[in-house]
Structure 1
Amino acid sequence: MSSIVVQEFITLDGVIQAGGGPDEDREGGFELGGWSIAYDEEHDPSGEIGDSLVKEWESRTEGLLLGRKTYEIWAGAWGVWDENADGVMGELTRRYNRVPKYVASRTLTEVGWKNTQLLGPDVPEAVRKLRAEPGGEIRVWGSADLIATLAEHDLVDEYRLMVYPLVLGTGKKLFRDGFPRTRLALVENRALSSGVVVNVYRRATD
């Protein structure tokens, strides 16, 4: 059986939008893109997050599950970047190109990034089938709308949240109004030297 793992850079007020760059996602007039990168450059020069934590987590990724907007961002980045780049950049590019990618979209009719397929109209049922197959971790990044759908159908096994000590006051939130009621158990908690706190939650079993 595979597991669906949501992994997010998130602010104290729950925002997950466009942490990676100013033009990553300006939907809704969002102008604060790149907040996680800017914070890491100032407070994490040793690469504790990207070169250590994310690298270790992503070594277990056996598939990517993405919403349409996140897929388009990733296909235009990891899908075209140099696999022979030095360090973690090259390692992640090679992995993301190799693993299967599953995209939830009501508008896309084709996908160009290799090893990518559309899930079709019944996303919850398609994900149930993926989750029932033997395998490892199927990773979800970004994709707030998709995550809400998965949570509604109890299809998220784990949330890995890197909580930044920032309050943006605007932007797309992971646990937004209307998010389904969910009981989780904290299985890991650690504070990094940068001030980022890592919280890992799994579905509560009792």
Structure 2
Amino acid sequence: MSSIVVQSFVTLDGVVQGPGGPEEDTEGGFQHGGWQFDYDGDGTIAEWEKKTEALLLGRRTYEIFAGSWGVWPEDADGFQGELTRRYNRIPKYVASRSLTEVGWKNSYLLGPDVPGAVERLRGEPGGEIRVWGSTELIRTLAEHDQIDEYRLLVHPLVLGVGKKLFGDGFPSTRLALVESRSTASGVVINVYRRAAEATTRA
């Protein structure tokens, strides 16, 4: 079995839009891109990404990743090079109603039945299938109870505008907190699993 794991940088008011840079996602006139870079990292993401065996992405996030990780040099120093090599190697599964082809190597369109395709992926041997960004896809996965774990890096910041991870209409979900710690700059790292599974998987 594989696990669907959502990872996200998130503000106190739930915004997940554009953490990686000013031009990453300006939809809706969003002007706060790159807000995540004002806070320290403690190596958590690097450790988590060592477990990533596949990416599961919505169209917009896929295009952002393909235009960055998909073209950056694999011989770059440090974490950027390490993650570029990993992301190029592993399969990328893309949920899209508009794309007819995907150019980043080892990328695959899921087709019209996204929940069905994801359920097949979950049933295959493997490890963690990582979801970044992709708020619409995450909602679809939650509606079909296909998310095994949320890893949220909650930043001490209120933006007041932007796409939210858990927006109005998100399906009711009961989770259990299985890990929590904070960084020196006040980022709280929380890991949640389904309440029924937390005790058996912790």
Deviations 1:129-177 (A, max 9, x none): 0000010000000000000000000000000000000000000000000
Pair 1:137 & 2:135 matched: no
**Displacement of 1:31 after TM fit?**
0.7
Q: Secondary structure at the match of 1:32?
A: coil
Match of 1:176 in 2: 167
- Is 1:68 the counterpart of 2:59 in the alignment? yes
Name stretches of at least 5 consecutive residues in structure 2 with no aligned partner.
198-202
Aligned ranges 1:43-192 → 2 under 5 Å: 44=40, 47-48=41-42, 52-192=43-183
The CA RMSD measured in Å over matched residues stands at 0.7
Verify: 1:17 aligned to 2:41, yes or no. no
Listed as ranges, the matches of 1:29-44 within 5 Å are: 29-37=29-37, 39-40=38-39, 44=40
Per-residue CA distance 1:59-99 (angstroms, 9 max, x = gap): 00000000000000000000000000000000000000000
- The number of equivalent residue pairs is 197
Q: Cα distance, 1:193 vs. partner?
A: 1.1
Q: For the residues of structure 2 that align with 1:191 and 1:117, how far apart are their CA atoms?
A: 36
- Separation in 2, partners of 1:173, 1:84: 35
1:81-122: CA deviation from partner (whole Å, max 9, x where unpaired): 000000000000000000000000000000000000000000
SS in 2 for 1:205: helix
TM-score by length of structure 1 reads 0.94
The CA deviation at 1:204 is 1.2
- Secondary structure of residue in 1 paired with 2:178: strand
If the length of structure 2 is used for normalisation, what is the TM-score? 0.96
Cα distance in 2 between the residues matched to 1:125 and 1:194: 41
Looking at structure 2, the residues matched to 169 and 133 of structure 1 have their Cα atoms a distance apart, in angstroms, of: 40
Please list the CA deviations of residues 172-194 of structure 1 after superposition, one character each: whole Å capped at 9, or x if unmatched.
00000000000000000001112
Matched residue type, 2:36: S
Give, as a single letter, the amino acid of the residue that structure 1 aligns with 2:21. Answer: G
